[in-house]
């Protein structure tokens, strides 16, 4: 078990070192920088390069790392902005839907009230003329009650 832990640790450490290696192009050659060592085609050329060239390669690598970091930050900021825009659009759509629902509720309320008043007027006219039998009167009362309930229901939706 202990041996397995040691092997896994070594493998992870090796992968970390490989992951830390950075490629950089300088004077038409591709250099691989691992820590302080500089490689060309898997051959260590750190000692054969002048200190000036080593510093230039490392500076160029630093600039590349900074540029990559800024690029990632910009992409992250762009994604956040897109998320905010989507959220704002969703919020606006929801508000528009709510407004539409409110307008529909107002219209339904007005229509229900208008229909009730119309039917009430008609009932009154018929009863004044004496054209309603007791059975018709009961039907009219039920009808007017239903219309009142519709008005109350549409009023609650407002």
Residue 46: per-residue pLDDT: 84
Q: Count, in order, helices (H) and strands (E) of the chain.
A: 3, 4
3-class SS at 44? strand
Q: Any residues with CB less than 8 A from the CB of 3 and at least 6 apart, and which?
A: none
* Other Cβ atoms within 10 Å of 151 Cβ, number: 20
Question: Stretch 118-135: mean pLDDT, rounded?
Answer: 90
Give the whole-angstrom CA distance, residue 150 versus residue 116. 9
Average pLDDT of the residues of the chain: 86
pLDDT at residue 21, rounded to an integer: 65
More confident residue, 117 or 20: 117
How far apart are alpha carbons 106 and 44 in whole angstroms?
A: 81
> Which string of DSSP letters, residue by residue, matches 95-150?
HHHHHHHHHHHHHHHHHHHHHHHHHHHHHHHHHHHT---HHHHHHHHHHHHHHHHH
Lowest mean pLDDT of 40-54, 68-82, 86-100, 119-133, name the range: 40-54
Q: What pLDDT sits at residue 81? A: 95
Task: Give the pLDDT confidence score for residue 10 in this predicted structure.
Answer: 53
pLDDT the model gives residue 17: 47
């Amino acid at each position: 078990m202990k041996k397995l832990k040691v092997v896994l640790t070594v493998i992870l450490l090796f992968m970390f070192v490989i992951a830390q290696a950075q490629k950089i192009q300088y004077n038409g050659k591709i250099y691989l920088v691992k820590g302080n060592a500089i490689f060309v085609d898997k051959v260590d050329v750190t000692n054969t390069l002048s200190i000036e060239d080593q510093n230039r390669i490392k500076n160029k690598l630093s600039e590349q790392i900074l540029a990559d970091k800024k690029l990632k930050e910009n992409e992250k900021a762009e994604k956040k902005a897109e998320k905010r825009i989507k959220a704002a659009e969703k919020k606006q759509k929801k508000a528009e839907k709510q407004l539409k629902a409110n307008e529909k509720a107002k219209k339904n309320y007005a229509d229900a009230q208008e229909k009730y008043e119309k039917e009430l007027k008609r009932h009154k006219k018929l009863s004044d003329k004496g054209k309603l039998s007791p059975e018709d009167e009961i039907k009219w009362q039920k009808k007017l009650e239903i219309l009142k309930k519709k008005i109350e229901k549409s009023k609650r939706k407002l």
